[in-house]
Structure 1
Amino acid sequence: MNKENENELEDELRPEYYFSHMTGGVRGKYAERYKAVTNLVLLDPDVAQAFPTAESVNETLRLLMQIAQRQST
């Protein structure tokens, strides 16, 4: 065996996999756990243009919460 072949990793991956033939997997196994720690909100393009950063969205929402709280008391 020459030195070049010794350094090559043996590729055991197939070019494609058939997930229907695999057993033991559970679809959505961690979905609830993921939802519990993730709060992703997609903004419409016009809103995203007005509030380009997470900080600007949070600041505006906090101000809106303060205004709503003052109005209710």
Structure 2
Amino acid sequence: MRREYDFSKARRNPYASRLKQSVTIRLDSTAVAYFKRLAAELEIPYQTLINLYLRDCAASGRKLALKWKPARRGRSLTSA
């Protein structure tokens, strides 16, 4: 190993913007089973498939059509 290295001609990593971030996420067991089945057919890891799907959603600007029911007045979330 050298005592000193010359970094004057070094360049930035062109792939640094695409580095992955580890996150913890809760998914329905049916969703995980679906992606595992599909990933097995494609012979790729299911985490990779989920990442590819989410990247495709983000790139195409896909949005879910979610409709939330308005909360009833006078009821707390803890009451049965």
Whether the TM-score (by the shorter chain) exceeds 0.5 is no
Structure with more helix by fraction: 1
The structure with more radius of gyration: 1
